Amino acid sequence: MNERHTFGSVHPQSTSHLLIKRSIPVVPVLIGPQIPRREREETHERYCRALLTLFVPWR
């Protein structure tokens, strides 16, 4: 069963949102075009965001 946690009462989304911790680990999969190239200035920020999504642990 997935654990459910509510936000503290002072949090702005405390009445409408909650956090769910999955009981089975899940690996995010990026859907869409390939990961942007890091060498190109116009796609560097999207490249960084994609790598953070894949390799930084989520709570």
- Per-residue pLDDT of the chain in tens (59 residues, 90 and over written 9): 889 999 999 999 999 999 998 899 887 787 888 888 888 888 889 899 888 888 887 76
pLDDT of residue 59: 65
| pTM of the shown model | 0.45
Instruction: Give me 26's structure tokens.
Output: 């899940």
Q: Sign (positive/negative) of CA torsion 31, 21, 13, 49?
A: negative
pLDDT of residue 9: 94
For the chain, the domains span 3-55
Question: In the 8-state DSSP scheme, what is residue 8?
Answer: P
pLDDT of residue 6: 95
Torsion, CA 25, CA 51, CA 34, CA 20, rounded to 10:
30
